[in-house]
Structure 1
Amino acid sequence: MDDPVQCYRISSNFRMLGRLPIEDVELYLTVCGTERCTPDKSYGPIVRRDYHVHFVLSGRGTLEMDGRVYQPHRGQIFVTVPGVDLFYYSDPQDPWHYAWVSFNGSKASLYLEKAGITADHPVRDCYLEPEEFLGIIEEILNHHEITVANELTRTALLYQILAMLVNSHNQNLERQNKPLPHDYSPDVYVDNALGYIHNHYAHAKVSDIASYIGITRSYLTHIFKQRMEISPQEYLLSYRLEQGSRLLRTTGMSIQEIAEAIGYENPLTFSKMFKNAYGVSPKHYRLKVLEKKEG
């Protein structure tokens, strides 16, 4: 296999940033460009080693991949995947004008799957104006010099393209009243919920926690109880009181100040909740702590 070569070409019909050096990372750009295809312009038969995402700006054509035939047209995206026999060509009467970006990496297929694109479903509606993607690809082309700053810019723009694909796919699911997939394991969501509670316990609500991490309250409650064996609301109240007991032991703050610090506007409510949990009032809890220290 030939070593990657940096090149940059532009003409009235064709503009391309050539193959860039490959790194063993989760996502990296290899090629991108734009092209106004001539009638019957064809590619292949070929087996590619990267993912190529094409945004059809106008025209139509045919994609043959892994024994299946598709006919992508304006307003659609088509993707060719690595390691698969493929052949594609523009329509003789209405040839393609498209922008494309090529990439690979350990998470490339995962990100495309989250965008509703797989080897079995390589064509989908864009849901956004294709020109929005064209603008980003042209911005990548404008950062073709081999510098660290440009490498970071190109990578950031590639992530932006994939984020737009995932967001537009999710928005389309919402329009169809279909449930959104959960992108991460339950443990990831629970860990983030715990982190949110530990940092914002004084003013947190379970609905705020769910909204912050991007899942429904009912799903958060379900997975939280599975792991922690109590609901997020119960954990939040327990953690507030735990912080209250810590302040009673380690500071000279008044009961009212402690109540306000952990999220209780009324110190009487704090005292009642504290006594239910610890068996004594905050005042007597502090006295017991002092007695132990003096003893």
Structure 2
Amino acid sequence: MTTDHSYFNVSINPHESNSELSVLFSGEGKPLPLHKMGPAVHDYYLIHTIHSGKGTFEMHNRTYPCSSGDSFIIYPGELFSYVADAEQPWHYTWVAFTGRSAGLTLTQIGASPQNAVISGSSPRSIRHYYRRIRSCFQQSMHPALEDIEAAGWLRLLLRELSRADDPQVRTKPATETEIQRQVSQAVRYLELQYTQAVSIEQLARTLGYHRTYLCKMFKQATGLAPMQYLFKIRMERAKQLLETSMTVDQVASSVGFNDALYFSKQFHKWSGSAPSVYRKERKSKGVFSG
């Protein structure tokens, strides 16, 4: 324990990493009243999440009063200072990190040097991720693996911070850009899961949308219902595979059909040719790759 904290604990990452995202250290503390850090500059990113009490954070010519549920972010090269409240000094956890994608990741969750406080997070769930980060560093024989694990928990922590409650965001109607994003999510799901048995219910449940709403916005954006779009993906991929040495059975299985005969009928209906005929035609044109 340091003399300016009633409680202080920190875990250090012993592994020096040059990865996209790497934790340097993480800790927890209860500073004494009016405990102050700065003005100073760090050469790494540092996030503090407040679990109780309050204080003030300053950076980039802005002053932020902070309390439970707030997280303030110190950026490398930015002059900062922060001080605990005189009556209710804060209790917080922190994590320091570096990495090539660190700045971009923070931007993606809505943070920046000009907007360096995220409010509305759940202290209990956030604290869980901090504990998991600190528990990674047990001075084992595999520090590089500990570094990878800690980075994983840091990503989950940042994801949780991005979930901060904002009633205005929750209640406003979806804009065109938001609808495009939702449709893009659905398209991406179908492009990655077309080899599996996919249903509308499963797709809607996975993405968190109502089935009717998903189908409506998907068709408005693409001109096709989700299952029609999935069928198109499967058939386009089947065409590519039929230009290789794979058997029709293997092609069918590779595009999500357990029954090769049923696949052949569907492919014929879609392309106008049976799979074997399509293959011969492509081979005669010199595009057969196997």
- TM-score, scaled to structure 2: 0.66
Structure 1 segment 143-292 matched on structure 2, within 5 A: 143-153=136-146, 155-167=148-160, 169-170=162-163, 172=165, 175-177=170-172, 193-197=190-194, 199-200=195-196, 203-204=197-198, 233-239=231-237, 250=247, 262=257, 271=265, 274=268, 277-279=271-273, 285=277
Question: Residues 136-160 of structure 1: CA distance to partner in whole angstroms, max 9, x if unpaired?
Answer: 4344444544335455345424432
Q: Which runs of 5 or more structure 1 residues have no equivalent in the other structure?
A: 1-7
d(CA) in 1 for partners of 2:86, 2:260: 73
Tell me the SS of whatever aligns to 1:72: strand
Tell me the SS of whatever aligns to 1:71: strand
Q: Which runs of 5 or more structure 2 residues have no equivalent in the other structure?
A: 285-290
Q: CA deviation at 1:172?
A: 3.8
Tell me the SS of whatever aligns to 2:126: helix
Aligned position for 2:287: none
Aligned position for 1:84: 78
Larger Cα-atom Rg? 1
**Which residue of the other structure, out of 63, 66, 74, is the alignment partner of 2:68?**
74
- TM-score, scaled to structure 1: 0.65
Q: Letter of the aligned partner of 1:196 in structure 2?
A: Q
Aligned position for 1:45: 39
Q: CA deviation at 1:169?
A: 2.4
d(CA) in 2 for partners of 1:15, 1:175: 37
d(CA) in 2 for partners of 1:175, 1:140: 30
Kindly indicate whether structure 1 or structure 2 has the higher relative contact order, using CA contacts under 8 Å at least 6 residues apart. Answer: 2
The change in CA–CA distance for 1:250 and 1:83 in structure 2 (over 3 A counts) is closer
Give percent identity, aligned residues only.
Answer: 19
The change in CA–CA distance for 1:239 and 1:33 in structure 2 (over 3 A counts) is closer
Tell me the SS of whatever aligns to 2:68: coil
Question: Residues 190-239 of structure 1: CA distance to partner in whole angstroms, max 9, x if unpaired?
Answer: 78754533x33xx44688679778997757996899xxxx9554333454
Cα pair 2:14 2:137 within 8 Å, conserved: no
The change in CA–CA distance for 1:181 and 1:134 in structure 2 (over 3 A counts) is farther
Tell me the SS of whatever aligns to 1:106: coil
Tell me the SS of whatever aligns to 2:145: helix
Q: CA deviation at 1:92?
A: 0.9
Tell me the SS of whatever aligns to 1:61: strand
Question: Residues 245-285 of structure 1: CA distance to partner in whole angstroms, max 9, x if unpaired?
Answer: 999x957x8xxx99xx8367995x96476156235x679x5
Cα RMSD, aligned residues only: 4.8
Cα pair 1:116 1:166 within 8 Å, conserved: no
In the comparison of the two structures, how many residue pairs are matched? 261
Aligned position for 1:35: 29
Tell me the SS of whatever aligns to 2:9: strand
Aligned position for 1:56: 50
